[in-house]
Structure 1
Amino acid sequence: MKKPLIGTLAALLTAGATALAGAPAATATTAATTAGAQSAQAGKVAAVTFAGTVALSNCSGSLIRFPASAANDPALVLSNGHCLETGMPGPGQVVVNQASSRTFTLLNASGGSAGTLRANRMVYGTMTDTDVSIYQLNTTYAAIQSSYGIAPLTVAATHPVQGSSIKVVSGYWKKIYSCSADGFAYRLKEADWTFKDSLRYTSTCNVIGGTSGSPVVDAASGQVVAVNNTINESGQSCTLNNPCEVDQNGAVTVRRGIGYAQETYLIPACFGTGNKLDLTRAGCTLPRP
């Protein structure tokens, strides 16, 4: 995986890890209508832009909502588990409900800074089966819409589709990569970590360090279908920065220069009313502590 770039994970560098990768106040109805920076207008989905993405100190991320989120719910930010300020979770480790004061630069459509958002809690983080971190902010979607005119991106609750056009939107580098969903890896192994059912890019999404945590946006729907997390850099097999695919029969495939993302459709089922994490909810299959 593309490790974070800047000093918050200096300990990992020491351990030998190498570079990974003024609007009016909105009502609940208005926020629901505008939620997702790529909302439909006149029957068309708006072009994918930087609106709703964020830059972390060392990674990329996005301001997100789930299909059932409400305007006055605490807002959430999505990134990678390996981007946590506390370091990469070990295999089998799941971190939940930890205090955090992390800040995020919220971007507007052109990639400029719209303002600064602050977390009050790291809700969920893991590198087991997937590679995600979810932060709760100290403000709501409605307040963000009112202050900055920025709506969150919606996380799709359905599996991404092979062959679909996708955009990997890096808030850190302010760069948008365009490619297609080439397919899905049954298991993706990288060093000590194993990810399940990972989305594989076609070659034009040649992501680099700092793009970790970028939302993978379906170009047709404008919804988030995955979170960017790794690429095979040098053709090695199953090593750090060189993930390998393992099929149901144990056969290993190495694809040099090909990047991957972790699907996000499983996440909405784990959040209930008020954007509250509940790993015991029916349909929630995210790893538990």
Structure 2
Amino acid sequence: MRKRLLVMSFAVIAMITTGTPALAIRGGTEAPAPYSFSGSLQRPDSPREDGHTCGVTLVAPSWAVTAGHCTKNNPSLAQVGRPKNWTVRLGTTDAGSGGEVIEVERFITYSPYPVHEGDIGLLKLKKPAKTKPVALPSARPADGTKTRILGWGMTCDRRAPECYPKKLREADTVVQPASACDGIYADRELCVGALDGSVAATNMDSGGPGLVRDGGRWVIAGVVSGAGGDDRPVMYTDVHYFKGWIDDVVTGRLNPPDTPVPNLEGAASLGGCSASVVRTGKTKNNDPALLLTNGHCVPERPAPGQTLEDVAMKLTVTIGDRQGYLQAKAQTTRLVSATMTGTDTALFELDQTYAQLKAKGVKVFTLSGRSAKPGERVDIISSGNGNRFACTIDAVVPHLREEGYTQDNAYRYDPECGPSHGGSGSPIVLRDGVTIVGVHSTGNDSGEQCTANNPCEVAADGTVSAHQGARYGQQVKHLAAGAPAPKPGRPQPQAAPRRLNDATIATSSA
């Protein structure tokens, strides 16, 4: 599968890395001087201190081009929208200082399916840049054309400060035949880099330019889209293919309306899963806040029959506002409890109190002590899917099995309810908008019985059935009484695993 060269921030904040250790612009060196038209897209949901997420290139005084998946990577998944606190920094070799910093007023993505239809997007700046834009190409570059690539991509294959370069890097390479890149859309993409991948763009170089010479000037031939395989060149979106669309947007001939977005207030992200900040009947305003998600979202999943308790664990959490933009960041400090046996839930303690999060405007949900009933209407609020699903509880399934795990009294939603992969851990909320009665967990993708991503239902009489397309959630009423908090200043021992029954639930991320 194609790998986009971007650390997915907020909606899917899990790292997407190449299979081998990476160097920023692998095979490159630090750029001795800035490129006035080239810069960094900087967002508050970036894992980096300097805010860098993607490369950008100025193509008109008030417009910069980047990869489509860089503009669309907000939880609402809007194709056109007005971002919150996005900026571009142009004309510097340092992603964290210098150059010209301009706020982004609007983003316009070419397609809602950027990889399949065109991975390109435009950023409208709130004021014209002082510098001169780069030239657009008059033709597609031929195979073998010398190309200079730029970026602030990662210097190693883990999300850590030492892997984020401050200085812009560059390398000279060539346009390769399309056959050298696995999964390329040859009509609208370029294959750029060394054949063995030794000179190529890497993670967080997405959107950065591939430049070619036209006489005495630079021309932007492509923008980084994604890698088609390990030790391979990288796919770049062919700017010439989309030149007409760029011209239409920049001149105002094409001015699409903003995409309507659902209410995503309170949707949180933890790794590749969705989550929510919750409180119980025992919590107080000055207590550390609790975060709810699935047990299968814990980095080391509980084994069948196991409950993990009081485990020190530091993970990054992002929490969104109504439009899905970053409202607050937090860190988990410990895993309070997690199990995939009988249900699929995990409860984390955060490094901030309810009072502190409330001061930042974060929405906090309440865990219910009751189950939802068949026929009851609920909302599933998913940061990973960028959607708020209006659903009905279709049935309460006695047992659900998947890949050797079992859950009890699982919710099955109505057939029109569509949370999918990335939606794991999303809260199932009553129509009051506050009360959580469950957490989304899994779904049957292909109709198989009891395999990964294909849970099967087990009736009270032992009859086994599979329902392709069905989606399932877990109950949380066992958490409503609240987990005991550790006493300050005292180390908390890790409890021995408790056997609840033979099995656990889905290991999939539905």
> TM bucket by the smaller chain?
0.7 to 0.9
Partner of 1:66: 280
Partner of 2:292: 78
- Measured after TM superposition, the shift of residue 143 of structure 1 is 0.9
2:282–2:482: 8 Å Cα contact kept in structure 1? no
d(CA) in 1 for partners of 2:319 and 2:366? 16
1:178–1:205: 8 Å Cα contact kept in structure 2? yes
d(CA) in 1 for partners of 2:13 and 2:421? 7
Q: What SS does the aligned partner of 1:266 have? A: helix
d(CA) in 2 for partners of 1:92 and 1:123? 17
- Measured after TM superposition, the shift of residue 272 of structure 1 is 4.7
**Structure 2-normalised TM-score?**
0.44
2:380–2:388: 8 Å Cα contact kept in structure 1? yes
- Percent identical pairs in the alignment equals 31
- Measured after TM superposition, the shift of residue 49 of structure 1 is 3.3
Alignment partner of 1:193 out of 405, 415, 420: 405
d(CA) in 1 for partners of 2:13 and 2:405? 20
Partner of 1:174: 386
> Is 2:416 the partner of 1:204?
yes
1:238–1:244: 8 Å Cα contact kept in structure 2? yes
Alignment partner of 1:184 out of 376, 396, 405: 396
- 1:234-285 CA-to-partner distances (Å, cap 9, x unmatched) read 11111111111111110112111010000111112353578999xxxxxxx9
Partner of 1:133: 346
**Structure 1-normalised TM-score?**
0.76
Question: CA 1:98 to 1:267, structure 2 compared with 1: closer, same or farther past 3 Å?
Answer: same
1:115-130 alignment, distance < 5 Å: 115-130=328-343
Question: CA 1:177 to 1:275, structure 2 compared with 1: closer, same or farther past 3 Å?
Answer: farther
d(CA) in 2 for partners of 1:188 and 1:207? 18
Unpaired runs of 5+ in structure 1? Answer: 11-47, 278-284
d(CA) in 2 for partners of 1:196 and 1:95? 19
- Measured after TM superposition, the shift of residue 166 of structure 1 is 1.1
Q: Provide the aligned C-alpha RMSD in A.
A: 2.9
Alignment partner of 2:315 out of 66, 88, 102: 102
> Is 2:454 the partner of 1:242?
yes
Q: Which amino acid in structure 1 is aligned with residue 306 of structure 2?
A: Q
Higher relative helix content: 1
d(CA) in 1 for partners of 2:326 and 2:371? 31
- Measured after TM superposition, the shift of residue 6 of structure 1 is 4.1
- Measured after TM superposition, the shift of residue 219 of structure 1 is 1.4
d(CA) in 2 for partners of 1:49 and 1:89? 33
- Measured after TM superposition, the shift of residue 74 of structure 1 is 1.1
2:294–2:439: 8 Å Cα contact kept in structure 1? yes
1:70–1:274: 8 Å Cα contact kept in structure 2? no
Partner of 1:271: 483
Partner of 2:269: 55
Unpaired runs of 5+ in structure 2? Answer: 1-11, 19-261, 493-497, 502-510
Alignment partner of 2:437 out of 184, 207, 225: 225
d(CA) in 1 for partners of 2:453 and 2:447? 9
Question: CA 1:103 to 1:125, structure 2 compared with 1: closer, same or farther past 3 Å?
Answer: same
1:73–1:274: 8 Å Cα contact kept in structure 2? no
1:232–1:257: 8 Å Cα contact kept in structure 2? yes
Which aligned runs of 4 or more in structure 1 are off by greater than 6 angstroms?
273-277
Q: What SS does the aligned partner of 1:145 have? A: helix
1:67–1:156: 8 Å Cα contact kept in structure 2? no
1:233–1:257: 8 Å Cα contact kept in structure 2? yes
1:74–1:137: 8 Å Cα contact kept in structure 2? yes
d(CA) in 2 for partners of 1:191 and 1:73? 37
2:280–2:481: 8 Å Cα contact kept in structure 1? no
d(CA) in 2 for partners of 1:153 and 1:57? 20
Partner of 2:95: none
- Measured after TM superposition, the shift of residue 150 of structure 1 is 1.6
d(CA) in 2 for partners of 1:81 and 1:190? 14
- Measured after TM superposition, the shift of residue 218 of structure 1 is 1.2
2:380–2:427: 8 Å Cα contact kept in structure 1? yes
- Measured after TM superposition, the shift of residue 5 of structure 1 is 9.0
1:60–1:170: 8 Å Cα contact kept in structure 2? yes
- 1:152-193 CA-to-partner distances (Å, cap 9, x unmatched) read 100111111211111111112321111100010000011110
Bigger radius of gyration, 1 or 2?
2
d(CA) in 2 for partners of 1:96 and 1:134? 9
